[in-house]
Structure formats: structure tokens, C-alpha cells
Structure 1
Amino acid sequence: MKTPTHPDRTETRQAPAAKVSIRIGKRTTFDASVTTVGLLSVGALVSSILLSSAVIVAAAGRKAARRPLALPDHTKTDG
């Protein structure tokens, strides 16, 4: 059985949505380009990281307020 080929997928290439070139010194240059799909995936990753860190910080704050780390001084008994 032959695998069907899709000429639309193989022949068309997306133009980069963003290009950046960084030059450090006289000899070192970094070039990068990102397509629209790449920009959307980076945006989704960054937003999910920010949302998850906000949830972790909120949960840690609730736990600290609910249970102190050390006993207050007035509960200690001198023997």
C-alpha cells in the first residue's frame, strides 16, 4: 500500500514571522527566525509557566498562614 503524498504540505513553506540577528564583537553573530506557529507555541508555554507559578505561590502563602513554622514563645515550658 502506497502512502499518499500531499504536494500542498511539501511544496509550500511558511515565511518567518520574526527574524532576529544578534552580533557580539566582530566575529560572532547569532541569527534566528520563528514562524507564526512557533510564536504561538512560545506564547502558550510562557503563559502556562506564569499561571502555574502563580498557583504555586498562592498555595504556599495559604499553607504558611494556616500553620506557623515554630511554636510561639509563650507555649514553651521551662523545666
Structure 2
Amino acid sequence: MKIPKHPERTKTPSAPAAKVSIRIGKRTTFDASVTTVGLLSVGALVSSILLSSAVIVAAAGRKAARRPLALPDHTRANG
């Protein structure tokens, strides 16, 4: 059985989709470039993190509403 080759999948992009250069002070410079696939993966990671944190906050809010951590002041026995 012959495995088909897909040359368009193995090509590396000639130009990055985004470039950033950050300069701190007089000597320090950070350069970064990201391809389209990299931007898509970063977007997927950020959206999944935001969705998961929203679920955690919602679950914590439901539990706190059911069972308060302390009794209100007017029900405590003064002694």
C-alpha cells in the first residue's frame, strides 16, 4: 500500500502571521514571531482556560449559597 504525500502540509510558512518586539531599557530586547497555527493554538488555550475557570467559579458559588461558612451574628449565643 502506498502512502500519499501531501507537500502542502509539510511546507513551513515563509512569513509569520504576527511579529512582536519589546524593548526594556537600553540593552534588553525581546523578539517573537508566531505562525497562524500558533495563533490558533494560543486562542484555543486561552478560551479553554476562561471557560474552565468560569465553571469553577459557578460551582463554588452554588456551594457557598447552600451552606454558609459561619452563622449570622443574631443567632450566636452570647456568653
Q: Same fold (TM over 0.5)?
A: yes
Where in structure 2 are the equivalents of 1:17-32 lying within 5 Å?
17-32=17-32
Count the aligned residue pairs: 73
1:55 equivalent in structure 2: 55
Q: Distance in 1 between matches of 2:63 and 2:6?
A: 57
Q: TM-score, normalised by structure 1?
A: 0.76
Q: Distance in 2 between matches of 1:42 and 1:18?
A: 12
Q: Distance in 2 between matches of 1:7 and 1:56?
A: 42
1:71 deviates by: 3.1
**Are residue 36 (structure 1) and residue 40 (structure 2) matched?**
no
Unaligned runs of 5+ in 1: none
1:75 deviates by: 5.3
Q: Percent identity?
A: 85
Amino acid of the structure 2 residue aligned with 1:65: A
